[in-house]
Amino acid sequence: MARSVKLLLWSLLLLGTLSAIQAKKSKEKITNKVYFDVEINGKEAGRIVMGLFGKTVPKTAGTFLVWEKGVGKKGKALHYKGSSFHRIIPSFMLQGGDFTDGNGMGGESIYGEKFADENFKLKHTGPGYLSMANAGEDTNGSQFFITTVTTSWLDGRHVVFGKVVTGMDVVYKIEAEGSQSGTPKSKVVIVDSGELPL
């Protein structure tokens, strides 16, 4: 009996160690850190810092680094500063990035109006994942969303390219301004954005 218990304990220890090693291996390398300073109805809500996975999805991560990319084909500056979170659904996600029209119908990437899905290697495995919003296959622009729950039904349809590093409290403040229709109860604006050192 004692031998069986010892064997069971060693097996559990080995299994736990292997699980920890696997979890460490699957952790994506952050290549860039970016931030959004957010206001809700003109009042400071805080800062969201996100890590981008540029090794796995370099093109997608690159389009999110729009702060100094000039003016797009639509004549609008290619950056998120001044744009809003136009679609917020509690227990799902918050969507932004339409800096051309501001209503979810626009946006533009550094590669032109739309670009193809890069790959679907990364999954929506929990809250805080940063993913491309689209209108179907190969229709990525500048719009993105941040998950507030696991959204595995989006795997294979939306390209995950980053994760919130700090500021999930701000994400949840924004989520509280949402509705089931997605129409925000308040104006939620990205008042500043940029890149941070790693």
One digit per residue, pLDDT tens: the chain, 198 residues? 566 545 444 443 443 443 333 333 447 899 999 999 999 999 999 999 999 999 999 999 988 886 556 666 666 666 799 999 999 999 999 999 988 776 777 777 777 778 999 999 999 999 999 999 999 999 998 899 999 999 999 999 999 999 999 999 999 999 999 999 999 999 999 999 999 999
Q: Among 32, 134, 140, 143, which one carries the catalytic annotation?
A: 134
Query: Is 158 in the active site?
Result: yes
Segment holding 48, helix H or strand E: strand 43-52
Residue 68: per-residue pLDDT: 56
- CA pseudo-torsion sign 122, 52, 174, 74: negative
- The closest of 195, 160, 188, 192 to 172, measured between CA atoms, is 188
The DSSP bridge partners found for residue 95 are 87, 145
DSSP state for residue 71 in the 8-state scheme: B
If you search the block for the tokens 């299994």, which residue do you land on? Answer: 15
Residue 66: per-residue pLDDT: 66
Residue 105: per-residue pLDDT: 79
Q: Among 79, 86, 87, 124, which one carries the catalytic annotation?
A: 87
Q: Among 36, 92, 115, 161, which one carries the catalytic annotation?
A: 92
Query: Is 3 in the active site?
Result: no
Query: Is 92 in the active site?
Result: yes
